[in-house]
Structure 1
Amino acid sequence: MRDFLEDALQHLDAGAGRQQRDRLVELPKRFYTLVEVEERDGAFVVTLDRRVTKTPTGKTVSTSHRDLAAKMQAEWAAQGEYIAPDSMPHVKLINSAVEGGEEAQPALVDEVLKYAANDLLLYRADSPRELVRRQEKVWDDVLVRLARHFSVSFQPTVGILHKEQSPDMLARLRASIAPLHFVPATAMVSVTGLTGSGLLAIALHAGLVDRDAVWTAAHVDEDYQISLWGEDFEAAEKRRQRRREFDAAANVINFLERFPI
């Protein structure tokens, strides 16, 4: 089961370091010309020269949502002479979900709740004052929205020492995502890993904050450091890649909230 979680999160290792490794690995050549979306047996599939796309282990990829199929179609169509998996965040995420299958769903929910119990938003800096104010402004807004929506309370703390959170709070949050289909659950794990916050993933899924607000909240500390020292080129490229993967996961959550794959 842990293999499925690692597969769901493997695309998080993004940016310059991974690009350097990719240059050392021979990418597969593009083997197709025509990329289409077709409706088959009540679902949408992406076809390459009329052949349905499959996961690396041969499982057929399909979805009930045409817009998600269109996203995957666009990624396949955008490939050049070689196929670069890192440029296909929707395809990679859906492949990972299909590989894990339904049996991975409980572990995916557990992963989100594990982060929420020791969440980024709950551990605050004690200085400098400007960073403290930024955390309070951005993170408290998310916590208040969650608290009101789920009728729960949180116990933020200063520093890094573990602070036990209410079992009732965690149970209520679990109940909100426990029914998720395994595909959006995989996307939730991706958002959680990319932001370092299960609470932000749950807030996004519940529609309490939009994706830009989630991304901003996830980078309060990093943005403060950038304001002091400037932005490193490689770190900026890594962050852009992570944002592309985050947006793909947010799309999957949005598309499949009402239309299971």
Structure 2
Amino acid sequence: MSEEEKRAAPNIPKDQLTPPLPKRFYTDVTVGDAPGGGFQILLDGRAVRTPKKQLLIVPTRALAEAIAAEWAAQDAHIDPSKMPLSKLAITSIDGVTGSMREVASDIVRYAGSDLLCYRAEAPATLAEQQARTWDPLLSWIEAQSGARFLLAEGVMPVTQNRFALERIEDLVAPYDAMQLAALHVMTTLTGSAFLALAVAKDRLSAEEAWDAAHIDEDWQIARWGVDVEATERRERRRREMLSADRFFRLLAAA
């Protein structure tokens, strides 16, 4: 399209460009035993399948019931944005199961430039707050991994040694596809593999990890005030973090 055509084109609101949500096509939502083990979600008795036509099967009834509750809560239309547990389960099955090595490697890549290793040079109050919150967590991950991690000040990068990253690989290796999916979400949302592992290993709650990941941002807010759009985006991402943590917990629930 030429510049003249672009200028002449009607200014269509963004909401009109969004594909319409699919209509709810079912009445009853139940949980059933899956063939081969695990639990599946049934819509009017028919098993839910992923976009890649895989059965939506999860290992615990607690998680299956929580996912079923998301489907049951839909109104006239099905809104995926209100179904975070379903989304994570589908991502695990369609996107992570066949790519576990790549997903684990991406988590380790975050550890190579982990948020907790990058410290402010100034002001002193921010640097002190980072140290007060992050130093115990860094000591914990070093104790867990048996490796030492280098710190950087300002924006100058540091290269973590291969041994340290291999120890993080060892910490990530035991997780299955669904656990990895949740761990990866928490890592990308916080910018820290260390914080995600601290949540997974019950060193921190998800809320504590979220707060620890936003020390710099909270300091800026206290100094310059709140940006409404940024606050809304942050709240959406916080809810994603809490959903990933809940998904992870439900994978181990009885």
Identity %: 35
Asked if the contact 1:38/1:44 (under 8 Å) is kept, the reply is yes
Q: 1:67 to 1:23 in 2, by over 3 A?
A: farther
Q: 1:250 to 1:226 in 2, by over 3 A?
A: same
Structure 1 residue runs without a partner (length 5+):
1-19
Match of 1:31 in 2: 25
State the secondary structure of the residue aligned to 2:57: coil
Asked if the contact 1:89/1:244 (under 8 Å) is kept, the reply is no
Q: 1:199 to 1:102 in 2, by over 3 A?
A: same
How many residue pairs match? The answer is 240
Q: 1:119 aligns with which of 90, 96, 114?
A: 114
Confirm whether residue 171 of structure 1 aligns to residue 154 of structure 2. Answer: no
Residue 57 of structure 1: CA displacement?
Answer: 2.1
Moved over 3 A (4+): 20-23
Higher relative contact order (CA 8 A, sep 6+): 1
TM value normalised by structure 1: 0.85
The 5 Å alignment of 1:3-18 reads none
Asked if the contact 1:146/1:208 (under 8 Å) is kept, the reply is no
Match of 1:155 in 2: 150
Asked if the contact 1:76/1:88 (under 8 Å) is kept, the reply is yes
Q: 2:76 aligns with which of 61, 81, 90?
A: 81
Residue 106 of structure 1: CA displacement?
Answer: 0.3
Residue 96 of structure 1: CA displacement?
Answer: 0.9
RMSD: 1.9
Confirm whether residue 43 of structure 1 aligns to residue 33 of structure 2. Answer: no
Match of 1:213 in 2: 208
Residue 254 of structure 1: CA displacement?
Answer: 2.5
Q: Which structure has the greater CA radius of gyration?
A: 2
CA distance in 1, matches of 2:64, 2:231: 29
1:203-239 deviation per Cα after TM superposition (whole angstroms, max 9, x unaligned): 2222222212211111111111221223223222222
Match of 1:132 in 2: 127
CA distance in 2, matches of 1:21, 1:116: 38
Asked if the contact 1:184/1:257 (under 8 Å) is kept, the reply is no
Residue 179 of structure 1: CA displacement?
Answer: 2.6
